[in-house]
Amino acid sequence: MAVEMELKQKVKIIALEKGAAYFGVADLSLAVGGTTPYEAKLVSKYPVAISIGATVLNSIVDSVNEPEDSYALKNYWYHVYEVINPKINDILLSVSNALVDAGFDALMVPASQTVDTGNLYGLFSHKMAANLAGLGWIGKSCLLITHDRGPRVRWGTVLTDAKLIPGRPLLGEGCGGCMMCVEACPAKAFSGRDFKRGEPREARMDPKKCLHYIYVERKKAAGIEACGLCVYVCPFGKKSRTGKQRKN
């Protein structure tokens, strides 16, 4: 137990010192029934996930409230994909190397990695890892919602066979009757259903509607493949303007 705690603290310190705002450990045995076939294959090899989160500046998110402002949308896209995601990936690599140096296997799952563009699937769900680590719940927008920053957080994951003490999954959800993200979605991609573990994502979201809006309609109207309205309207994210970032 002491060795497990020492290793967890070591990789946590590495992550926080490199700029992570969130750090958590998930027991992936709890993901059974809620994974894609490929995720299930990975879970059979890597029983633990380390979840890393980095926040997006409020000023950047708040700028997307005008969908026709192409300058703001392009800045939002650049900030997320060229600034925040590389930062997360750098943290993931350092954490992975530390685990390997300690004698364990580690598989880095980069931020925003999409391996199935037709269905909008990544190699492994960052949101599932963060949820099982207790860092937030999955909202009606299918985004990971934190209490203090809402969905204004980008995520990355390291899968490992290291025996790390996991956090407690956040089984409940805090959205309640709020439907702001559902109503704000210009693609009408969300059904409004609450997250239910083991239920397919498609019960809550039509990824093809989202993809068509971003890659066809947004590209044509604003010259950029970006939206962000579901991130912008979430009340939990808007509360963060006066709050402080939490490092778990």
Active-site hit among 90, 116, 148, 161: 116
Is residue 110 classed exposed, middle or buried when 0-12, 13-18 and 19+ CB atoms within 10 A define those classes? Answer: middle
Q: How many CB atoms lie within 10 A of CB 102?
A: 15
Is 17:98 a contact under the CB 8 Å cutoff? no
229-to-62, 143, 184, 197 alpha-carbon distances in Å: 9, 12, 7, 25
Is 116 part of the annotated catalytic residue set? yes
Structure tokens at 127: 């949101």
- Taking the C-alpha atoms of residue 234 and residue 241, their distance in angstroms, rounded to an integer, is 12
Distance CA 159, CA 120 (A): 20
Under a CB-based contact definition with an 8 Å cutoff, are residues 63 and 26 in contact?
no
CB contact burial 17-48 (16+ within 10 A = b; e otherwise): ebebbbbbbbbbebbeebbbeebeebbeebbb
Contact 214, 225 (CB under 8 A): yes
Catalytic residues: 116
